[in-house]
Structure 1
Amino acid sequence: MISTTTDQRIAVNYALHNQRGYVYAIELNHGGKSVDTLLRGKSLSEIATLNIPPEDIMFALGPFTGAETSYSKLMESEELRTAELMINPHSQASLEVAERAFEKMKATLKYPLSPEMSFSERYINRADLFWHEAEASLPTYH
């Protein structure tokens, strides 16, 4: 299930209530358009996902679990937050755009990023990041 929104509170609540959902940060370069969708008189801040290519996805956070929780509870309780940040190595979004998106979402992370490598450094070096499949085949030395 996919919900599209420009409001991180709505995105996280949607991911929580659909168990193990992820929130993807997207820069609309090649598709998509903001639409004015209202629910009970309030804007859903939605985006119409019109053929968004993979390179427009900057990163994902998740999985968000706990159908009985909400964004506000998640902000109050660190143990309810997520621990995964996955940066898309093929993203074409600028560092500035990715940093702004991360600033909006970083409060949903259970742990702060390591001081040895900031989000900016991770994003700049995203093509060099290991993925689970690559890490599994690395030799171990004793």
Structure 2
Amino acid sequence: MSVGLLLGAERDRSSADPTPQDTTPTTATRTPATSPPPSGSLCRDETQAAARRAGAPGPLVRVLRLRTKTSEVYICRDPAGALYYHANSDENSWIEGETALFLTGVTGEGDHYEVTATDGTTFSVTAKRLLIVHTDGSKEPQPAVR
């Protein structure tokens, strides 16, 4: 299931339930104080906007970018050291809540990052692959493409 399909399933579940389901945790997880200050390329404008809405304390820099057959995934860091996940399933548009998924609370370092959405779906990201573990336990590996 791609990010877009996951978002569609979440939207379908939301329309059946009168209480909206938000897949974005409300607080960002801080990495240890030993994390180096952010440096490098700034993350996409769409990611900057989503991070501001989530309360990030400044601009995000890109830590990792992964392109799979069906998704483009970014791991970004804010000036305080918190990590964020932002993925999109459409090459031609970036629409938060439809084609794109922004999550706070990412853990990890180096080349392995992980985050769990509020519905229990876990996203594990390395430079070589995205692994989505669905709430039913099924795994969806997505290898990197060039």
Q: Larger strand proportion, structure 1 or 2?
A: 2
Q: TM-score, normalised by structure 2?
A: 0.22
Q: Larger helix proportion, structure 1 or 2?
A: 1
Rg: which structure is higher?
A: 1
